[in-house]
Structure 1
Amino acid sequence: MRVLHVITGLGTGGAEQQLAALVRRLPAHGDIVCDVITLTNPGAVADRLRADGVRVGHLGMAGNRDLAALPRLTRAIRRGRYDVVHTHLYRAGVYGRIAARAAGVRAVVATEHSLGEERIEGRPLTAPTRGLYLATERLGHATVAVSAAVARRLRQWGVPAERLHVVPNGIEPTRYRCGPSARRGTRARLGIAPDAFVVAGVGRLVPGKRFDQLVRAVAAVPTAVLVLVGDGPERARLLRLAAGSGAARPVRFLGDRSAEEVPTLLAACDALVSPSREETFGLAVLEGLAAGLPVLHASCPALEELPADHAPGAARFDGGLPELTTALRALAAAGPVRLPQPRAVRHYDIGRAAESLTEIYRRTAARAAATAGGTR
């Protein structure tokens, strides 16, 4: 089975990292060959995919209204003679569904990675945005939500329940088992003292992630250092906030890092905090748990959809600064610990996601073939 993944960009965001991990695992669940086309920004994840032997194309799309990209994408799909086209992220979903149907591919799957109550992929959710999404969703056969929360929102929009599938994001748990030498080495490279209490924040530096609360909370905890992994438009404001917070210890802004680097960076930390009040899954929380860290989170559908005993190392807080500061002070006073990987991490193994998607591909392709009388 030949599958083409179409994604808006291949920078180091969560959806992009998920795609790379899935493409690595999908062939293990059947005779599946994956290619990838990015509409824009063939960044670090494109390099990672190529290193894994995946063919990556770049459409060179100039913007949301670059309609000339549509015939280029249609031709690429037709040339590849793909059995399934799988789109990721909003823009790729709109253009990819149209191009797939124009190219004669009837088995079209789309994953919705980041749909909140009022925002989609960090941008305000408007009536025209939702209208265009729903109009093109009808051209597909299956829509995948990364959590039950996202599936619920899509049903509220009017996406038919029979086309909706929940396939949670996943991680590769074994990659996060780093020993004491990784902790010492990473701290030495970052210039962090061995006895410092190190707090991690992982994600895009955008307002919705509320990393400003984390900067303020860490500044109020003696011996604490904050390590922020990610980049985005809030970087300059967070830098100014850190400089004026009165903290004697600087915040380490590490920028975007590859998926391969994140486990060793977390090995240097003592806790992970996810202060965002609205998440569609909560991948960073799972990464922290996989690394054996105590985790504080304001929102994490991945854990909220599991029994509480699946993640004993995670604690939810209300998102307020006083509660977060108190919780961090308690963790710092308790001293560094390394917890065993909880059941939640095993539940969200990337292999399970790949297996579920393989089954969706097969069913979707069979249904499309039956609808077309067995011909493309």
Structure 2
Amino acid sequence: MMRIAYVSTDPGIPVFGCKGASVHLQEMVRAFLAKGAEVTLFSPRMEGVPPQDLTTARQHPLPPVLKGDADARARGQIALNRDVAQALEAQGPFDLIYERHALFAHAAMDYARKQHIPSVLEVNAPLIDEQSRHRSLERIDDALFLACRAFAAAKQVVAVSPQVADYARDMGTPADRVTVEPNAVNPARFPDPAKFADAFCVGFLGTLKPWHDVSLIIHAFAILRQTIPTAKLLIVGDGPERRRLTVQADAAGVIDAVQFTGAVPAEQVPSWLARMHVGLATYRGSDPFYFSPLKLYEYMAAGLPSVVSRVGTLADAIEEGKTGLSVPPDDAEALAAALAKLANDPGMVRATGRTARARVLATQTWDDVADRVLLRAGLAPARMDGAA
């Protein structure tokens, strides 16, 4: 049986949480398990109850990174490397070391290189740039040095977008070791497409952070309500922007038509998406775009058309007019017009949603991603059935 070590040392990602990063992590583990692999999870955030189908994954909790000032947190993350190396040695041997890239993390890739074990470093964002821009980053020289060390040691780097792939190459990864794997979906979570019942419902799924520009959504929704007074807005998720967004919706006079669900467990997401008629993926034009929004692929799997901001390569993820619509960023009037177009054409909503669902389920599943990852690591998926 193939033995896979899955390492995630980011203190902001609870393995069994409901944020997008947690869902991504769970789905990759689920895909590896489905291929017959034995998966051992290493993380400082192992709290919570795993979904039933992930209970067979072994858990090795790492010491928690204590909260405190940015410098103390950085020192805690650096110290975690020693624990990772010791844990891998104690729990091994492994046939593959798979790591979700985190600030200051290098031990997993170093261990794999020294032990001549295939390794994959999954990179979801230019973390040093992101941390410096949106939060605070102490010990930046250490962060750069250790990131370069991890990128150099990894046999394969899987980047979630072309922009993140560029970041990996800038960090020193040879170009032939870098591949792009956007986010994907688990078809089993979305057995049925949306029914488009009740009043026209605009929907957003995700963490309420500034770069998701939910403020623009509320502004556009207020405009939409002037011509479609029965429209509803469903915001599935939670985050630091919720209070401000609630105040904005109240000031715009649409608070009675807006529902904030708060944080929702992954298993409940499909039922919330089923209440929508269209899913939104909005981003500010002034921010660098390097995402592969999980929400977009889940909208598609749910049979919803999407409306996305025309930033970076995001519009390339849809087929204009066939699986969704794209609009300029920061333009509430344009977003409202796109929503009105869909609200006034139920046939288009159904057709684009149907096409989006068929396309994503045929081409972008976590099982397919796991197959490609294993192949690039030199571990053909055919070996996962227990054959020698």
Matched, 1:14 2:24: no
Matched, 1:332 2:343: yes
1:281–1:300 contact (8 Å) kept in structure 2: no
Instruction: Please give the root-mean-square deviation of Cα atoms over the aligned residues, in Å.
Output: 3.1
Q: CA deviation at 1:157?
A: 4.0
Matched, 1:203 2:217: no
Q: Which amino acid aligns with 2:165?
A: A
Q: Using structure 2 for the length normalisation, give the TM-score.
A: 0.78
Q: Which residue in the other structure is 2:327 paired with?
A: 317
Q: Which amino acid aligns with 1:87?
A: E
Q: CA deviation at 1:60?
A: 3.0
Q: Which amino acid aligns with 2:322?
A: P
* Unmatched segments (≥5 aa) in structure 1: 185-193, 365-376
Matched, 1:231 2:232: no
Q: Which residue in the other structure is 1:56 paired with?
A: 59
Identity within the alignment, %: 24
Distance 1:183 1:76 in 2: 49
Matched, 1:361 2:374: no
Q: Which residue in the other structure is 1:348 paired with?
A: 364
Change (3 A) 1:121 1:299: farther
Q: Using structure 1 for the length normalisation, give the TM-score.
A: 0.81
Please, which moves more after superposition, 256-265 or 157-166?
157-166
Q: Which amino acid aligns with 1:318?
A: P
Q: Which residue in the other structure is 2:383 paired with?
A: none
Q: Which residue in the other structure is 1:70 paired with?
A: 81
Which of 220, 242, 253 in structure 2 is aligned with 1:246?
Answer: 253
1:25–1:351 contact (8 Å) kept in structure 2: yes
Q: Which residue in the other structure is 1:162 paired with?
A: 176
Change (3 A) 1:305 1:328: closer
Q: CA deviation at 1:342?
A: 3.7
Q: How does 1:170-319 map to 2 (within 5 A)?
A: 170-178=184-192, 194=198, 196-222=199-225, 223-247=230-254, 249-277=256-284, 278-299=289-310, 304=315, 308=319, 312-319=322-329
SS at match of 2:344: helix
Change (3 A) 1:302 1:75: same
SS at match of 2:279: strand
- Structure 1: which 4+ aligned runs deviate by more than 4 Å? 98-102, 124-127, 299-307
Matched, 1:89 2:105: no
Q: CA deviation at 1:143?
A: 1.2
Change (3 A) 1:134 1:324: same
Q: Which amino acid aligns with 2:324?
A: A
Q: CA deviation at 1:18?
A: 1.7
1:110–1:143 contact (8 Å) kept in structure 2: yes
Distance 1:170 1:299 in 2: 20
1:169–1:281 contact (8 Å) kept in structure 2: yes
Please, which moves more after superposition, 127-136 or 77-86?
127-136
1:6–1:39 contact (8 Å) kept in structure 2: no
Q: Which amino acid aligns with 1:249?
A: D
2:281–2:307 contact (8 Å) kept in structure 1: yes
Change (3 A) 1:120 1:143: farther
Q: CA deviation at 1:183?
A: 6.9
Change (3 A) 1:248 1:34: closer
Distance 1:300 1:49 in 2: 38
For these two proteins, the number of residue pairs brought into alignment is 348
Q: Which amino acid aligns with 2:23?
A: Q
Change (3 A) 1:119 1:235: same
